[in-house]
Amino acid sequence: MSKDFLVVGGGAIGMLSTLSLAQSGAAVRLLEASSTTGRESSWAGGGIVSPLYPWRYSAAVTALAHWSQDFYPGFGQRLLDETGIDPEVHVTGLYWLDLDDEAEALAWAAPVGRELFAVDIAEAYDQVPVLGAGFKRAIHMPGVANVRNPRLVKALRAALTAMPNVELREHCPVNGFIQENGQIRGVTTAAGEIRADRVVLAAGAWSGELLKTLGLELPVEPVKGQMILYKCAEDFLPSMVLAKGRYAIPRRDGHILIGSTLEYAGFDKTPTDNALESLKASAEELLPALRDAEVVGHWAGLRPGSPEGIPFIGEVPSYPGLWLNCGHFRNGLVLAPASCQLLADLMLGREPIIDPAPYAPAGRLQ
């Protein structure tokens, strides 16, 4: 079996795909279009290690999420040990407030083995004293973590650059694929051809644009998300909280992330004043003390939107040698470890960690 791999896209999915393949001893090249890896949606997201509403997703998303949730704490520690960069896998738990589908959420939890239960609203206020007034009901999942995604991608980059069998090429946008005898044998770039026995497309929201060069329609599109960041005391917010579709995420050093918008605006990722005001209003409703706090950051990223949020993981039947790991929509960071492990299992001929059928590109491309 050939071990010459090329990965297109240097976000969390592309870097973890590279790491998973390289750990087998394979030679892997990773190409990133921008000047540094991990600066698109992997950097821009919130890093909750759970779908926002896990009970609203299919079993396919749940299977990836649960594998990754169990994997993250040890993985974060290994990255810290190997690179000196702490991804800060921070277990805070998560409170959902005044859900319309609370009964469905509670019914979902037991069969899938996740701890999720209703709590008296007074208990929620006891545990999160800065919570805004007027909430009536709460459910709580105590084991949910968040990962500090800008540090995660820095740690992944450091881990990859330390591996002798990995070549990282930044500022190297791909504009097409090399086809020979009905197979994909590499990619074309402004700097020329780069050949490989197998190519992994992990370019996030841009994956569909690249597949169009082969006449394929991948239902992955950019979905803009804007977030804002406050700086508070380290003990200001002890738990993540979510209400009316907006969430607050505490980092260990007191930074508080508020997100997120959901906008279909093509590839425009310009932050807007309207989103800023909307996010500030949500922040102050959730945590009124933030009225007196300064917004220290406001940015936008482009999620790779896909039908039902189910990623594409596997080989493209009509183009042998071309593999996909893309379309994770709002859950790229939580699904990344399982998605990349599954991809490596399939590419290396190992027993897959979960059933790969729901993610296969066959029958899902046009």
3-state secondary structure 247-272: EEEECCCCEEEEECCCECCCCCCCCC
CATH number at residue 113: 3.30.9.10
Q: Output the pTM of the full model.
A: 0.97
Examine the domain organization and report whether 135 and 232 are in the same domain: yes
The CATH number of whichever domain residue 322 belongs to comes to 3.50.50.60
Residues of the domain holding 271: 94-142+221-305
What's the pLDDT band for 366 if we cut at 50, 70, 90? confident
Q: Do 203 and 269 fall into the same domain? A: no
* 146: nearest Cα among 233, 40, 260, 256: 256
pLDDT, residue 145, reads 97
Instruction: Give a yes or no: residue 56 inside a domain.
Output: no
Buried b (16+ CB within 10 A) or exposed e, 71-110: bbeebbeebbeebebbbbbbebbbbbbebeebeebeebbe
The answer to whether residues 290 and 270 belong to one domain is yes
Per-residue pLDDT at 156: 98
Residue-wise pLDDT for 196-222, tens only, equals 999 999 999 999 999 999 999 999 999
Q: Residue range 275-295: average pLDDT?
A: 98
Tens of pLDDT, residue by residue over 310-333, are 999 999 999 999 999 999 999 999
In a domain, 348, yes or no: yes
What pLDDT does 151 receive? Answer: 98
Tell me: do 312 and 284 sit in the same domain: no
Give 99's pLDDT tier (boundaries 50, 70, 90).
Answer: very high
Q: Do 264 and 316 sit in the same domain of this protein?
A: no
User: Which pLDDT belongs to residue 161?
Assistant: 98
305, 320, 335: which is the final residue of a domain? 305
Which tens digits make up the pLDDT trace of 60-81? 999 999 999 999 999 999 999 9
CA distances 10 to 17, 176, 250, Å, are: 9, 17, 26
Q: Are 123 and 266 part of one and the same domain?
A: yes
Q: pLDDT digits over 220-269, tens only? A: 999 999 999 999 999 999 999 999 999 999 999 999 999 999 999 999 99
User: Which amino acid is present at 361?
Assistant: P
Instruction: Give residue 160's pLDDT.
Output: 98
- What is the per-residue pLDDT for 3? 60
| The domain boundary residue, chosen from 282, 305, 328 | 305
Give which of 14, 84, 83, 7 is closest to 43, Cα–Cα: 14
Beta strand 4-8 with 90-91 is unpaired
pLDDT above 70: residue 101: yes
Indicate whether 264 and 195 sit together in one domain.
no
Q: Which of 275, 305, 335 is the last residue of a domain?
A: 305
Q: Does residue 62 lie in a domain region? A: no
**What is the arithmetic mean of pLDDT over 7-27?**
97
Q: How many domains does the chain have?
A: 2
Taking the CA atoms of 31, 32, 36 and 39 in sequence, report the sign of the dihedral they define: negative
Peptide bond before residue 306 is cis, with ω within 30 degrees of 0: no
- Could you say which DSSP state residue 202 is in? -
Does one domain contain both 229 and 286?
A: yes
- Cβ-contact 15, 153 below 8 angstroms: yes
Q: Are residues 19 and 40 in the same domain?
A: yes
Query: What does the block give as tokens for 147?
Result: 């990962």
- If asked whether residues 137 and 225 sit together in one domain, one would say yes
- To 10 degrees, the CA torsion angle through 13, 15, 16, 22? 140
Is residue 276 situated within a structural domain? yes
Question: For residue 60, is it within any domain?
Answer: no
Do residue 241 and residue 286 come from a single domain?
Answer: yes
Asked if residue 87 belongs to a domain, the reply is no
The pair of structure tokens assigned to 90 is: 């921070």
- In a domain, residue 76? The reply is no
Residue 122 has pLDDT above 80, yes or no: yes
Kindly state whether residues 194 and 205 are assigned to the same domain: yes
Distinct helix (H) and strand (E) counts, the chain: 9, 19
Whether 1 has a pLDDT exceeding 50, the answer reads no
Q: Tell me what percent of the residues of the chain surpass a pLDDT of 90.
A: 98
Tell me if 57 is assigned to some domain: no
